[in-house]
Structure 1
Amino acid sequence: MTDTPKPFAPGAFLHLRANQLAKGAPIAPPITTASMFHLPGQPDGSDFYGRATNPTWNDVEKQLTVLEQAPTRLFPSGMAAISAALFATCRSKTRLLLPSDGYYTTRLLADRFLAQLGVTVVERPTAAFEDGGFDGFDVVFLESPSNPGLDMMDIAATAQAVRAAGGITIADNTTLTPLGQRPLDLGVDIVVSSDTKAMGGHSDLLLGHVSSRNDDVMEAITDWRLYSGAIPGPHAAWLLHRGLETLEVRFDRMCHNAEALAARLAEHPSVQTLRFPGLPQDPAHNLARAQCSRFGFLISFTLADEATAEAFINDCPLIRPATSFGGVHSSAERRARWGDAVDPGFVRLSVGIEPAEELWAAIEAAL
C-alpha cells in the first residue's frame, strides 16, 4: 500500500519532469517509438520490449501517479482501462454491480463478454445505488456523476459498505478528473478514467488509465496490459503529457464557464429540465458539495423534442456537434441517438474554454 497522499500542487506538477533533468536534456519528453531496447546480459528492470515498457509512457505514468496520488498504468483508451480493471477483478461466478444509467459501453462490455464467462451482472440506477445493500457482490463499479444524466451517489458510504460486505469498488472518474473529485481518497479501491476527454483536453488522442493504492490490484492490472497487449501508443502518450501540463488551467476555466451557463440555462424558457450539480436546486447539490472540489464542466438539459435539440446543437457556432466531451471547444450531442434511456430532446453539453459571455450569447441565440 502507498503512503498517505500529499495535496496536489499545480506548480510542482508542472515542473515534475524538469526538476529531474540532466543538463542539456529536452524539457519536453522525447517520443520513443522503439519496439526493442539494448539489453546485454540478464534482464534487470531496464526497458526491454515495446509491449512491456516505453520511456514515453513512463513519463506520463509519473504525471498520473502524482495526480491520482496512486500507482497508475496507462492504456490505449478509456474502455481499455475499464476492461483492464474488470478483467483483473472478475472471474467465473463473480457478481458484478453496475450503474444502469452510467456510460453505456461499460454495460455492453459486461453483458456481451463478462456475462458469457460466468459473471453475474446486476444493474441499479445511480441515485438509488445503495438500495438493497451490497452483500454478495464481489465487484461494484460506480460512476458519479453518471454519464449522461449527472446523478450522483455517496461514494464514501458506498465504498465503505462494499468493503464491509467483502467486495471491491471501481470508480469511473472521467467526468470530474482528479482535480474535481478523488474517489481513492473517498475509499474506492480502483479508479479508471478516459484520458481522451478532459485529461488530454484537445480532442486529438485516445488514452485511459487505471490507478490503485492496492499493490495486488496494480500487479494484476500490469499483467493484464502485458499479456493482453492493450498498450498505448507513444505519440498519444506524448500528447497526453502535453495536455496534462495545462489541465489545472483548462479545468478551472471550463468549470467556471459551466457554473455561469448552468444558472442562465436553468432560467431559459426553452429549457424544460436541467441537471448541473453546482446549482443549489439540483438534487445532487449537497452531495456534490460534500465530496467534490469542483462541480465539473458537463450540463445536461432537455429541449422540446428531437428536432429542437438537433437544431440547437447544429446551429450554435460555438458548439461542436460531436460525441465524447472534455475538449477545449464546447460540444454537445443528443444522447438518445446512441440508445441512452433519455428524452429525445435531451442534450449533454460539454463546456469548453471560450470566453463565457461570448459563449452564452451564442447559446442564447441558438435557443
Structure 2
Amino acid sequence: MEHGDHGTPRMGAFLHLRGNGIDKGDPVALPLVQSSMYHLPGAPDGSNSYGRADNPTWVALEHALEHLEGAPCRVFPSGMGAISAALFATLKAGQRLLIPADGYYVTRLLADRYLRPLGVIVEERPTTGFAEGGFSGIDVVFLETPSNPGLDLIDLAAVAGAVRAAGGITICDNTTMTPLGQRPLDLGIDIVVASDTKAMGGHSDLLLGHVASRDAGLVQAVEDWRRISGAIPGPHEAWLLHRGLETLEVRFDRMCRNAEALAPRLAEHRAVSALRYPGLQGDPAHNLARAQMQRFGFLLSLDLGSEEKAERFINDCPLLRPATSFGGVHSSAERRARWGDAVAPGFVRLSVGCEPVEELWQALRDALDTL
C-alpha cells in the first residue's frame, strides 16, 4: 500500500489502482460479474468455484478497500452484516462482550437478542468514561467513536492498548469517519467495521459494509463466517461501491469543510439550544479529536428544544432530506428520539452534504429563523 502521513492512503495511486494492473484492450472501468456458476473442470485448484464463495467484482472492491484501510478487507451486504461477522467470528459462549450504551442502537439489539441467548455475557458502558472500570476479563470490546448520534469520543489508542494488555480483542465501528477521517487500525485497534452504505458509497443507492484487520487469523475467521453463513454482498452493489469510492476523497473533503463552516454559525443561532461538533474548540471532545482524527467529520448534533420545532426544521428546509441514514451527497437530518435513542425530543442529527456551503447555510438559517 502507498500511504502518506499518518498512514493516510495516497488517493492518486488509489484512482489508478485498477488501471495500472490491466492489459491492453481491458476495460478501464471495473466489469460487473453477475454469475453464480463458474467453468470448473477437474479439481478447483483455487479457481472461482461458486457464487457464495467467489466473485471477481468483490475481489476488486476488497482490493480497493484494502488500499484505503491499509489492511485486508472483506465485504458484507450491510454495515450490520459486517458487525455481525466481526462479533460472531470472535465470540463464543461464556465470553464477555463490552459495547457502548449510547452507540448505534442496532448493535445493542444484536447483542441483546442474539448473542446474550447464546451465552455471551453482554455489558454496556457510556462512551464518556468508557475506560472506567478497566478491561480485565473482557474478551471483546466493541467501540464506536464518535458515538452515533451523540458525537462523544473514545481514546482509541488508550483503550486498544489496555484491552490488548488484558488479553482482549477490540472492534471499532468507523462508519461516521471513514478511513480518510480516522484510522483505528493505526491506533492499535484489532478490527474495523463500517457501513459503506453511508459516506463510502455516498449516493444513497446501496447497502454494503466491510471488515478490516491486520490479523490474518481474524480475517480468515470473518471470511469463513461469510462463506458459511451466506452473508455475501451482491455483485451489483459491490460494483456501485467501487465506483463511489473513486469520488470519496472529493466528497468527504467537501462534506467536512461544509460542516466545519456551518458548526459555529449554527451554534450561535437563537433557535439552537445545544450543538455538538468535535471541530469546535469548545466541544468537550475537541482535544481528543485533534489527537486521533484526520478530519472532524460531517455530522453535527443539535437540540432545537422540542419535537415540534425539530420536525418543522427538518421538513421545511428545502436543502435537507428527512432520512434515517447519513453520509450522502445531499444534506439530511432526522430527529433521533423517534427511534428510541436516549436523546432530547428536539435532538437532531444533521449530516452535512456537498451543497455549496453558503447556499446551504442560507437554507438552514431561513428554516431556523421561523422556529
TM-score category of the 2 structures, normalised to the smaller one: over 0.9
> In structure 2, what is the Cα distance between the partners aligned to 1:57 and 1:19?
18
Residue in structure 1 matched with residue 352 of structure 2 by the alignment: 351
Q: Partners in 2 of 1:227 and 1:6 — Cα distance? A: 33
Q: Report the residue type matching 2:328 in the other structure.
A: G
- 1:6 offset after TM fit, Å? 5.5
- Asked whether the 8 Å contact 2:319–2:360 carries over to 1, the reply is yes
Q: Which residue of 1 aligns with 2:361?
A: 360
* C-alpha spacing 1:365/1:71, structure 2 compared with 1 (3 Å): same
Deviations 1:211-242 (A, max 9, x none): 00001101100000000000000100000000
CA distance in 2, matches of 1:7, 1:328: 22
Q: Distance in 1 between matches of 2:121 and 2:7?
A: 38
Q: Following TM superposition, by how much is the alpha carbon of 1:168 offset from its aligned partner in structure 2, in angstroms?
A: 0.2
* Residue 37 of structure 1: how far off its partner (Å): 0.5
Name 1:258's counterpart in structure 2: 259
CA–CA distance in structure 1, aligned partners of residues 108 and 172 of structure 2: 14
- Which residue of structure 2 lines up, in the alignment, with residue 152 of structure 1? 153
Root mean square deviation of aligned Cα: 1.2
- Supply the AA of the counterpart residue of 1:85: A
How far did residue 29 of structure 1 move?
1.0
CA distance, structure 2, for counterparts of residue 342 and residue 304 of structure 1: 11
- Flag structure 2 segments of 5+ consecutive residues without an equivalent: none
Supply the AA of the counterpart residue of 2:217: D
Matched residues, number: 365
Distance 1:56 1:267 in 2: 48
Amino acid across the alignment from 1:239: L
Q: Residue 20 and residue 6 in structure 1: after superposition, are their counterparts in 2 closer, same or farther (change >3 A)?
A: farther
Q: Deviations over 1:46-73 (max 9, x none)?
A: 1110000101111100000000000000
Structure 1 segments, 4+ long, off by >6 Å, are none
Q: TM-score, normalised by structure 2?
A: 0.97
Q: Distance in 1 between matches of 2:351 and 2:23?
A: 41
Unaligned runs of 5+ in 1: none
| CA offset digits 1:113-157 (Å, max 9, x no partner) | 000000010000111100100001000000000000000010000
SS, match of residue 184 in structure 1: helix
Distance in 2, matches of 1:95 and 1:143, equals 18
What are the Cα deviations for residues 84-137 of structure 1, in whole angstroms up to 9, with x where unaligned? 000000100010000001000000000000000000100001111001000010
Identity over the aligned pairs, expressed in percent? 72
Quote the Cα distance in structure 1 between the aligned partners of 2:70 and 2:195: 17
Match of 2:11 in 1: 10
Give the structure 1 partner of residue 196 of structure 2.
195
Structure 2 residue aligned with 1:143:
144
Report the residue type matching 1:290 in the other structure. A
Q: Aligned partner of 1:103: which letter?
A: Y
Q: What SS does the corresponding residue of 2:141 show, helix, strand or coil?
A: strand
> Is 2:202–2:244's contact at 8 Å kept on the other side of the alignment?
yes
Q: CA deviation at 1:43?
A: 1.2
1:95 corresponds to = 96
Deviation of 1:7 (Å)? 4.2
Counterpart CA distance in 1 for 2:276 and 2:154 is: 15
**1:343 Cα deviation after fit:** 0.2
Partner of 1:62: 63
- Corresponding residue for residue 184 of structure 1: 185
- Aligned residue for 1:206? 207
Distance in 1 between the 2:275 and 2:120 partners? 36
